[in-house]
C-alpha cells in the first residue's frame, strides 16, 4: 500500500511539473493542455518584406492555438510584445470601401439608440486611420481615438480625428478618463482578440466608461470560425478567439454586464456585444443575450469535445487547395493572388504556397505595394497588374471581401479569368 501511495504521489508531482511547463490561459490561468489546431511556424503577418531584405532571415514563431479546459478561451501564446507588432502597422481600414460603409451604418445606429450628440464623448480603441470616428466627427460628436500604431494614427489625425498613440490598459483608461472625461460610448472593432493581457484591457474599458455609458465590441465569432473552417484568421496578431459565452465570463469578472448582442456578416461571421456597468440597471439584459448563450451551449461550446477535430478539417482545406493549384500549374494556367491580408499570410505559409504557385499578389494599400509577403516572399503589386498579366485564375486571400473584389475586378472575364476562394471550401467564381 505504501508503495502504491508513493507511485500515486509521484504521478501527481509529475503532472504538476508538466503543467508548469505549459502556457497558462490568459484569462483564468489554467494550464493549456488541449490543442485546438497546430498551423506550424509562421512569421508576423504584417511584417511585409522590402526588396533589400530578401536576403535576410525572417523570424518564425509556432502558430499553435490551444483551448482552455476551464473557460474555453481559444488562444495563442504571446511570443512577441504588442509594441513590436503594432508600433508600425500595415493595415489601414479605409482601403476597404465595404468596411467604411459598415462603420457608417454602425455610427448612425448607435447614435440613435444611445442618443449621442454634441454633449457626448466617444472613445474608440484601436481606431486605426479614423475610418469610423470620422462619421461621429461629421455629426458633431466629440471623439478620441486610441491607436498604438503611430503611422496609422497620423492618417487619422490628417482626417480630423484626434488620436492618442497608446495601448489601452487600466492605467491608460484611468488617465484618459481623467483628462478627456469618462466616455458615453467606448467602442472597438476587431481589437479584443489583439490584446495579450485581456484582463487588463477589459479593466481599461471599464475605467474609460461613464456610469451610464455603453461599450460595444465587435469580433469574429469563434462559432463561425469553427463551422466555416476559418483557420487563416489565426495569426500572431490575434491572441484570442472568442465565443460569446467566454467573453461574457471575462466581462463579468470585471464588473461589466453584456446586455445585448448582434450577429454580423463581417469577417466571415462576427458578433457585436453591448456592455454596461453592472450597477447600471437602466439597461436591462435583452433576449438576444439568453438566446446566444443557449445556442452556444446547445452546440457544445461549453464542453471540450466541441473543440477537438478542427485540425483535421483544416488539413482537408489545405489538401484541396494545393491539389487545385498543382493541377492549374500543370495545365499551364497563370495564377496570381488578390490581397495581402493577415489571414492570407497564414494560408500561404501553412499551405507552403510561394511564387511557384502564385506569380504575384495585388493589394490596394500603397503601403504594401512593392514589398513581399511575409515568409512566402510573393511580390505585392498594385491592382493594375491584373490587367497587364491577364491571369487565368485569381486566388482571393481576403475571402471575407470576395463580393466586393469580384464586383470591382469582374473585367477579368474579358480574357476568361476566374476567381478562386479557398475557404470554407474551394469555390471557383466565373464573373
| Helix count and strand count (H, E) for the chain | 14, 17
**How far is residue 139 CA from its own chain's centroid?**
28
pLDDT of residue 19: 63
Q: Residues 69-79: pLDDT tens digits?
A: 999 999 999 88
**How far is residue 331 CA from its own chain's centroid?**
36
pLDDT of residue 47: 83
Same domain, 321 and 290: no
Q: What is the mean pLDDT of the segment spanning 82-106?
A: 71
24 secondary structure, DSSP code: B
Q: Note down the domain range covering 358.
A: 310-429
- pLDDT greater than 90 at residue 225: yes
Q: Residues 100-144: pLDDT tens digits?
A: 899 999 999 999 999 999 999 999 999 988 999 999 999 999 999
The span from the first CA to the last CA of the chain, in angstroms, equals 75
Distance separating alpha carbons of residues 126 and 135, to the nearest angstrom: 16
73 lies in a domain? no
408 lies in a domain? yes
Of the candidates 101, 158, 88, 165, the one whose C-alpha atom is nearest the C-alpha of residue 132 is: 101
Same domain, 126 and 217: yes
Q: What does pLDDT average to over the chain?
A: 92
- Contact 249/256 with Cβ under 8 angstroms? no
CATH number at residue 373: 3.40.50.720
- pLDDT greater than 80 at residue 423: yes
| End residue of a domain, out of 307, 331, 347 | 307
**Residue 87's pLDDT band (boundaries 50, 70, 90)?**
low
pLDDT of residue 108: 96
Same domain, 296 and 327: no
Q: Is 101 exposed, middle or buried (0-12, 13-18, 19+ CB in 10 A)?
A: exposed
Same domain, 393 and 415: yes
75 lies in a domain? no
Distance separating alpha carbons of residues 283 and 127, to the nearest angstrom: 26
- The continuous run of DSSP H or E covering 62 comes out as strand 61-67
Distance separating alpha carbons of residues 147 and 176, to the nearest angstrom: 13
Q: Residues 139-195: pLDDT tens digits?
A: 999 999 999 888 889 999 999 999 999 999 999 999 999 999 999 999 999 999 999
- pLDDT greater than 50 at residue 405: yes
Same domain, 299 and 344: no
Distance separating alpha carbons of residues 345 and 364, to the nearest angstrom: 16
Of the candidates 125, 123, 148, the one whose C-alpha atom is nearest the C-alpha of residue 136 is: 123
Q: Residues 206-223: pLDDT tens digits?
A: 999 999 999 999 999 999
Distance separating alpha carbons of residues 92 and 127, to the nearest angstrom: 10
Same domain, 303 and 322: no
Of the candidates 89, 104, 133, 373, the one whose C-alpha atom is nearest the C-alpha of residue 237 is: 89
Same domain, 274 and 361: no
Q: Which three cell numbers stand for residue 368?
A: 504594401
Q: Residues 8-51: pLDDT tens digits?
A: 344 444 445 556 678 999 999 999 999 999 999 999 877 899 99
Distance separating alpha carbons of residues 398 and 227, to the nearest angstrom: 18
Cell 484611468 maps to which residue? 174
Distance separating alpha carbons of residues 58 and 47, to the nearest angstrom: 10
State the helix-helix crossing angle for 198-208 and 244-252, rounded to 10 degrees: 60
Question: Is the link from the previous residue into 264 a cis peptide, with omega within 30 of 0?
Answer: no
| End residue of a domain, out of 269, 288, 307 | 307
Q: Residues 320-330: pLDDT tens digits?
A: 999 999 999 99
Same domain, 255 and 320: no
- Contact 175/106 with Cβ under 8 angstroms? no
Q: What is the mean pLDDT of the segment spanning 85-106?
A: 72
169 lies in a domain? yes
- Percent of the chain with pLDDT strictly greater than 70: 92
- Contact 74/65 with Cβ under 8 angstroms? yes
CATH number at residue 197: 3.40.50.150
68 lies in a domain? no
| End residue of a domain, out of 259, 278, 307 | 307
Q: How many domains does the chain have?
A: 3
38 lies in a domain? no
173 lies in a domain? yes
Same domain, 288 and 414: no
**Torsions phi, psi of 214, nearest 5?**
-130, 140
- Percent of the chain with pLDDT strictly greater than 90: 84
Q: Residues 244-281: pLDDT tens digits?
A: 999 999 999 999 999 999 999 988 899 999 999 999 99
- Contact 345/375 with Cβ under 8 angstroms? yes
Same domain, 8 and 114: no
Q: What is the mean pLDDT of the segment spanning 331-347?
A: 96
Same domain, 152 and 272: yes
Of the candidates 75, 24, 28, the one whose C-alpha atom is nearest the C-alpha of residue 249 is: 28
Same domain, 246 and 319: no
Amino acid at each position: 500500500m505504501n508503495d502504491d501511495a508513493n507511485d500515486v504521489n509521484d504521478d501527481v508531482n509529475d503532472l504538476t511539473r508538466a503543467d508548469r511547463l505549459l502556457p497558462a490561459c490568459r484569462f483564468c490561468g489554467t494550464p493549456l493542455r488541449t490543442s485546438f489546431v497546430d498551423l506550424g511556424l509562421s512569421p508576423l503577418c504584417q511584417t511585409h518584406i522590402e526588396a533589400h531584405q530578401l536576403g535576410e532571415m525572417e523570424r518564425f514563431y509556432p502558430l499553435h492555438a490551444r483551448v482552455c479546459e476551464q473557460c474555453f478561451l481559444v488562444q495563442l501564446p504571446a511570443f512577441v510584445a504588442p509594441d513590436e507588432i503594432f508600433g508600425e502597422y500595415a493595415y489601414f481600414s479605409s482601403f476597404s470601401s465595404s468596411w467604411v460603409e459598415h462603420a457608417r451604418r454602425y455610427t448612425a445606429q448607435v447614435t440613435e439608440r444611445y442618443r449621442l450628440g454634441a454633449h457626448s464623448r466617444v472613445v474608440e480603441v484601436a481606431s486605426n486611420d479614423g475610418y469610423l470616428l470620422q462619421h461621429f466627427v461629421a455629426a458633431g460628436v466629440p471623439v478620441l481615438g486610441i491607436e498604438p500604431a503611430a503611422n496609422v494614427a497620423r492618417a487619422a489625425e490628417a482626417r480630423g480625428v484626434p488620436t492618442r498613440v497608446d495601448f489601452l490598459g487600466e492605467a491608460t483608461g484611468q488617465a484618459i478618463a481623467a483628462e478627456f472625461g469618462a466616455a458615453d460610448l467606448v467602442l472597438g472593432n476587431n481589437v479584443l482578440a489583439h490584446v495579450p493581457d485581456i484582463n487588463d484591457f477589459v479593466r481599461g474599458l471599464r475605467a474609460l466608461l461613464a456610469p451610464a455609458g455603453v461599450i460595444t465590441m465587435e469580433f469574429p465569432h469563434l462559432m463561425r470560425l469553427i463551422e466555416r473552417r476559418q483557420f487563416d484568421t489565426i495569426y500572431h496578431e490575434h491572441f484570442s478567439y472568442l465565443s460569446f459565452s467566454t467573453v461574457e465570463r471575462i466581462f463579468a469578472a470585471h464588473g461589466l454586464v453584456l446586455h445585448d448582442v448582434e450577429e454580423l456578416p463581417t469577417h466571415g461571421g462576427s458578433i457585436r456585444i453591448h456592455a454596461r456597468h453592472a450597477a447600471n440597471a437602466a439597461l436591462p439584459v435583452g433576449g438576444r443575450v439568453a438566446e446566444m448563450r443557449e445556442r452556444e451551449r446547445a452546440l457544445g461550446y461549453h464542453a471540450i469535445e466541441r473543440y477537438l477535430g478542427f485540425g483535421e478539417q483544416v488539413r482537408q482545406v489545405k489538401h484541396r487547395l494545393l491539389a487545385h493549384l498543382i493541377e492549374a500549374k500543370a495545365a499551364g494556367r497563370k495564377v496570381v493572388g488578390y490581397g495581402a491580408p493577415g489571414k492570407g499570410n497564414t494560408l500561404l505559409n501553412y499551405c507552403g504556397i510561394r511564387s511557384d504557385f502564385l506569380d504575384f499578389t495585388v493589394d490596394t494599400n500603397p503601403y504594401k505595394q512593392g514589398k513581399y509577403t511575409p515568409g512566402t516572399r510573393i511580390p505585392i503589386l498594385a491592382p493594375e497588374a491584373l490587367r497587364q498579366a491577364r491571369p487565368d485564375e485569381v486566388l482571393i486571400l481576403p475571402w471575407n471581401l470576395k463580393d466586393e473584389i469580384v464586383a470591382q475586378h469582374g473585367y477579368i472575364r474579358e480574357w476568361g479569368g476566374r476567381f478562386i476562394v479557398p475557404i470554407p471550401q474551394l469555390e471557383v467564381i466565373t464573373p
